[in-house]
Amino acid sequence: MTETAWDTYAQQKPQRRPVNAVGETTWFNWTQYPDHGPGAEILGVSRGAAVLELGCGKGGNLAHVATLGARAVGVDLSLAQLRAAEARWADTAEFELHQGDALDFLTHRTDTFDAMFSVFGAVWFTDPARLLPAIRERLRPGGVLAFSQRPPVEGCYGCQASYITRSEDEDPLVVKRWDYEPPDWAQILRAHGFSGTTAQVLPAPAGPRKIGTLLVHATA
What are residue 53's DSSP bridge partners? 74, 117
Q: Which of 179, 166, 168 is nearest to 7 (CA)?
A: 166
Q: Are 183 and 171 in contact (CB under 8 A)?
A: no
Residue 85 per-residue DSSP state: H
What pLDDT, on a 0 to 100 scale, did the predictor assign at position 1?
Answer: 59
**Could you give the CA distance from residue 134 to residue 5 in angstroms, rounded to a whole number?**
24
In sequence order, what DSSP letters do the residues of 162-201 get, joined into one string? EEE---TTSPPEEEEEEE--HHHHHHHHHHTT-EEEEEEE
**Could you give the CA distance from residue 84 to residue 28 in angstroms, rounded to a whole number?**
18
What pLDDT, on a 0 to 100 scale, did the predictor assign at position 60?
Answer: 97
What pLDDT, on a 0 to 100 scale, did the predictor assign at position 11?
Answer: 86
Taking 70 as the pLDDT cut, the residues of the chain under it are 1
**Could you give the CA distance from residue 198 to residue 123 in angstroms, rounded to a whole number?**
16
Q: Are 74 and 98 in contact (CB under 8 A)?
A: yes
- Integer distance in angstroms from the first to the last C-alpha of the chain? 33
